[in-house]
Amino acid sequence: MADSDDINIASAMAAFEGKHFSQAMQLFTPIAEAGDMDAQHRVAIMFQNGLGMARNCEAAFRWMKASAEQGYAIAEHGLGFMYLEGDCAEQDSAQAAKWFQLAADQGLAGSQTTLAQMYEQGNGVEQDADKAKALYAQAGF
């Protein structure tokens, strides 16, 4: 017999994947509040992009950071982009590099590539062609 938490998560995922975002938000919010990092990330994405509700940058940043601080690589990447682009966060390339590095250390190719570009350009980090080359290699380039 499935645990009720598993059923709730499955229902929330089905709503999210089916693009029923207001239902997904209702289902994911208590799961996120209970500390589930995937739910926190998905709630952040819905707030950031205004999916099923009005865009809410403050909530998007808070949920993305909560997930990233638990070590969820895709949220670390997302928080890095918030800082890099100044989207729902004050633009801060050094903070972006910090979060991309954490996700890159977990093997996230997108973060390795973005961080490599930052090292190539000296954006938020000291310019370092060797470090950039190594990160591109890790990402499979």
* 67-99 per-position pLDDT tens digit: 999 999 999 999 999 999 999 999 999 999 999
Q: Whole domain around residue 108: which residue ranges?
A: 72-141
Q: Tell me, yes or no, whether 33 and 76 share the same domain.
A: no
Q: What is the largest CA-CA distance in the chain?
A: 55
Domain CATH code at residue 99: 1.25.40.10
Q: How far apart are CA 47 and CA 50, in angstroms?
A: 5
What is the helix (H) or strand (E) element at residue 127, kind and residue range? none
pTM (two decimals): 0.93
Whether residue 135 has pLDDT greater than 50: yes
Whether residue 136 has pLDDT greater than 90: yes
Sorting pLDDT into bands at 50, 70 and 90, what band is 2? very low
The alpha-helical segments, DSSP class H, found in the chain are 4-17, 21-33, 37-49, 57-68, 73-85, 93-105, 109-121, 129-138
Count of CB atoms situated within 10 Å of the CB of 29: 17
Q: Give the count of domains, the chain.
A: 2
10 three-state secondary structure: helix
Whether residue 1 has pLDDT greater than 70: no
